Every structure is written in C-alpha cells, then in structure tokens.
Structure 1
C-alpha cells in the first residue's frame, strides 16, 4: 500500500541567510521569489531576512518564513503526490493554507506582514514580551511555575514539553526556576508572546483582514492548531486562524492527528528541522525529514519516492 504524506510548515526561530537558496534551484520558485524581493513593500523585509540578525524581528521573520516555505512548496509540488494533510506550527499555519491552495501564495505572504504588524502593535505602550521553551518538569509543577512569573502556556509540544509566553523581564527568572526544579529551559529568539492572552488585541483586526481575503477550495485539509482537527473549508479557517494568535497551539495533538489520519511520511518545508525531529521522536513509525537536510531538489524527491512507494 502506498504511503500517505503530510507536509509540515515551520514557525519562527530557524530562519537563516540561505533559507531561500534550495527553492531557487527551481525556475518557477526562483521567479516567484524574484517578484517578492522586487516588491516595494515586501522586498525590504525579505532582504533584511538574509542580510543580518534583523531576520529574528517579528515583522521580518513572519513574512520571510512564509515566503521561504511557499517557495519551496512551489519547487516541489509538481512532482509530489497529493498530501493527506498539511500542518503548520504558529505562523506556519498561515503557510499551510497557502500549501493547501486556499490562499494564493502572494496573499499568504502579505497576510503574514499584516499579522506581524498587528501582533507587534500589542507591544506598544506595554512591557516587552518573551517566549521560553520548557521540558522535563516534574509532574504538576508547570502551571504553578508559569503563574508565579506571569507566563502562559503557548504551544504544547509534548507530554512534558511546552513553549510559554509572558513578560520579557521575567523570562530569565522563569528559566532559572525551571532549571532549579529539575527541568530544562531555553529562551527563544522571539519578541512577542504568541498564542497567549497578551496578543488578544490582534485577533479581531486579523479576523477582519481574513474576512476580506479571497479564499479558494482546499486541495487537502489543514490541521487547526488550536483544536488539532482537520479544516476543510474557508469558513472554519477564517475563525481559527485569528484565534490561534492568542490561544494555545496543541501541537502535540496535531502530531497525534497525523497518525490518526494514516500519515506514514512527513516532509518539513523549512527553514529548520524542528518539526520533523519532534514528529520523529513522538511517532518513530513516521518517516520524517526536513528539506533543510538535503542539498538538492532531486535528493528530496528521491527520498520521498522511496518512502512513499
């Protein structure tokens, strides 16, 4: 029996100067990137993503990650079998709707610009924000620890692993307390507390933008980050995408949903390979790779063909 493919779309954190290079080996993807880089509004953001540490700023990171992932999808799509589903992590959920054909690729990138702008506006006049990855905490200790430092669960990534968002002034103290309790903690290069109530102000304006956007039918379902349920229509997409800005992402359940939907092979579009590693660790029976692990488009196709046959 032929395998079933899932496409994974990454969030922020792994962007790098060469993240568009592999996609540019395809003429169609290269032309698409040329158009985006030449765009007077979008181009400066994309150029900044490959020219310095500004690539980690929210307003640059979000459109750049969506652009890199959708360019890669453009390069790979013509010779891939139809995926069983697509799942996106944080901003990657917007990418996922571009992959599924519900949004035009250019529209998805421009929506990422607006999403970042609305999220950054939540910082104006308030305290700086941060995100911290926690894992290995003793049972029953996480909720109290987050409440102690004013943090919220933002993305649940495993049985004992999550990403939390809250005030930047208390991020290091939270990390130190987690280490002292016997867990592990990493401060992430993200300056907004995505998927927490601190971003509630961005939800309604982004919903308005999505309501005015042209949507098409989906070629295959997208997993909703806030429910891990397959989304088949634009109406639910327009409801869930704004909510996930200020509500926790159930990524652990999204990974489990891949198994429930019969997925046997997963390909992460990059940049980075965090999603492929997480899924491989949680469900070793699924063959997982990221495009960032290959040096050529032919190498990606060859690996997929072996796994899917």
Structure 2
C-alpha cells in the first residue's frame, strides 16, 4: 500500500470543519472530548473567530483531524506513513497509536498554554514564497527573525516579533516575494519558544505516551520515530526548532508514499504534496462532500498506485 496520512497545523480551521462527520458516533466522541478540554462546544468555537486563538486553535485542529480519522480509519488501507505539520505532529501520533485521543487533546491544550507563556508579546508567523532559502536566512539575520518551517526551496514560514516580520516582509516583497501573514500569535518552531519546548518535554514524559504502531516521520529531521523516547524528544524539540516539511515529503516519497490524504481542517498539505512529490495523488477531506467520497477516492488512488 502507498497511503500517507497528513495531519495539518493551525490556519485551516473553519466553521464547517466538523460538519462532514459530526453525526457519526466515532467523531462525536472526539468532539465531546475536545469540548471538555476547551471548556465549551468545539463546534461552537469552530464557528467563531476565536478558532484562531492559540489556546483554542491547537486542540480544535487536533480534534478536527482525529474526528475524521476515527470515522475513516476502518474503511481505508493501513497507512504506510503518518505525517504531521506543526501541532499536527501531535495528532499524527494519536493516529499512529502513540497516545489516546483524550491524551492528545489535553497535550494540545498544554502545548498551547506553554507556548503562549513563553512567547514574546506581538509575535507570530509569516509565509514567504519566491525567494531562495539562503536569501531568507540572510533576511532573518538582518531583521531578527527565524525560519520556522521549510516548505520548499523557495517557500518558508518565518517566525519572530511582529515588528521584525513586518520589516522582513517589506524587504522580501521588494525582492519579488509573495508574503502572507498567518493567523498564529506565537513564533512557533523558533528559539523564542525554547522554554516551552523544555516544559513540554516534562509534560510528555508524565503522559501516557508509547512508541507508535504506525510509522511517523519527525518534522524536525524526517527520521522515523520508533521509540517512546523519540516521540517525547521530537514532539518537544519541534516547538523551538525548524520544521523541515519539504524533507518530510521527500522522505515519504522515498518510502513509497504515492497517495496522500489530508485529514483536515484545510487543504494546504495536500496541495504541497502535489507540488513537491512528482506523480503522487493528494487530496484533503475538505475537498469532499462526504466520507464515502473520501473512501472511494483513496481506494481508487491506491489501486492506481499499485
């Protein structure tokens, strides 16, 4: 089989993110667990602009991902890989069996709290497309920002104080880049959050976490996570280290992934897979009206890739 499951990070959450599966008992259990962690209805929060607030966004995104997985998992081929982007790496480990769903949702809330506490005020993330990585590295040094996520040779997410990002964005646009501020209020995956990474390692060590049953690739270096210790180390480290998503996709292709299903919310990871993995098929659940359509497409795509 050639299926890889993609678990997104923040930014793609939307009002209808649970609508496709809300009536399914397996998804309803996830939504109820998320509502308990959030202290309010997950579906109500998804329909409100507070869905972009870090403390709400991280558990909410994981809940959206896992609600779809719980409905789909018995109807799909066993994935060869589970890949997670930013907080999606936490959800990926729940998909892969490293932790229970309730544990994942609670850890997502804890992760957000620790990141908020460690973050400087007026900070965030910004996507830049169209400049070589070495140019972006130089701009970061010049303006006091850092590379948070590498999505491709000319596509990265930068993090840091908003003033630094604004100045850097202006300089990047002057060189022809496309700049997009992201709805994230912390400089995730940068050294500003070292204290959060250290604290989250303690939380992970105290949680019920085990080696994954399905293969997960770490966001920071694309290596296979095969032990409980590596689960803890990589999930904690990525809070303050660059996520190398392009390397993850390259490694996924080398390991035989040819069909990529993004569990949502959003469709950015499926789009990047299509752009970065030649010959693959990649779609998000958000592109379908029903889970039946998702299952039909995955099974057909896996047959084509066989």
TM-score range, shorter chain: over 0.9
**Counterpart for residue 19 of structure 2:** 21
1:82 has 2:61 as partner: no
How does 1:152-231 map onto structure 2 within 5 Å?
152-231=146-225
Q: Is the 8 A contact 1:49 1:61 kept in 2?
A: no
**Structure 2 residue ranges without an equivalent (≥5):** none
TM-superposed CA distance for 1:161, in Å, is: 1.0
Match of 1:285 in 2: 279
Written as runs of structure 1 = structure 2, the 5 A alignment for 1:2-151 is 3-37=1-35, 39=36, 41-44=37-40, 46-47=42-43, 49-123=45-119, 126-137=120-131, 140-151=134-145
Aligned partners of 1:116 and 1:139: how far apart in 2?
28
In structure 1, distance between residues paired with 2:239 and 2:48: 27
Q: 1:141 to 1:28 in 2, by over 3 A?
A: closer
- Give the 3 Å change call, closer, same or farther, for CA 52–141 of structure 1 in structure 2: same
Shift of residue 151, structure 1, vs aligned partner: 0.5
| Contact 1:199 1:245 (C-alpha < 8 Å) held by counterparts | yes
Cα 1:147–1:295 change in 2 (3 A) is same
Contact 1:138 1:183 in 2 (8 A): no
Q: Is the 8 A contact 2:173 2:179 kept in 1?
A: yes
Following TM superposition, by how much is the alpha carbon of 1:213 offset from its aligned partner in structure 2, in angstroms? Answer: 1.0
Aligned mates of 1:282, 1:32 — CA distance in 2: 32
Distance 2:112 2:127 in 1: 21
Q: Distance in 2 between matches of 1:50 and 1:140?
A: 38
Q: Which runs of 5+ in 1 are unaligned?
A: none
Corresponding residue for residue 247 of structure 1: 241
Instruction: State the alpha-carbon separation in 2 of the partners of residues 69 and 20 from structure 1.
Output: 9
CA distance in 2, matches of 1:139, 1:42: 38
How far off its partner does 1:140 sit?
3.9
Q: Helix, strand or coil for the counterpart of 2:151? A: strand
TM-score, scaled to structure 1: 0.94
**2:132–2:153 Cα contact (<8 Å) kept:** no
Q: Given that residues 147 and 159 in structure 2 are in contact (C-alpha distance below 8 angstroms), is that contact kept between their aligned partners in structure 1?
A: yes
Cα displacement (A) at 1:214: 1.1
Distance in 1 separating the partners of 2:221 and 2:132: 26
Secondary structure of the corresponding residue to residue 133 of structure 1: strand
How far residue 32 of structure 1 moved from its aligned partner, in angstroms, is 3.1
CA distance in 2, matches of 1:18, 1:52: 11
Which of structure 1's runs of 4+ aligned residues deviate more than 3 A? none
Q: 1:96 to 1:200 in 2, by over 3 A?
A: same
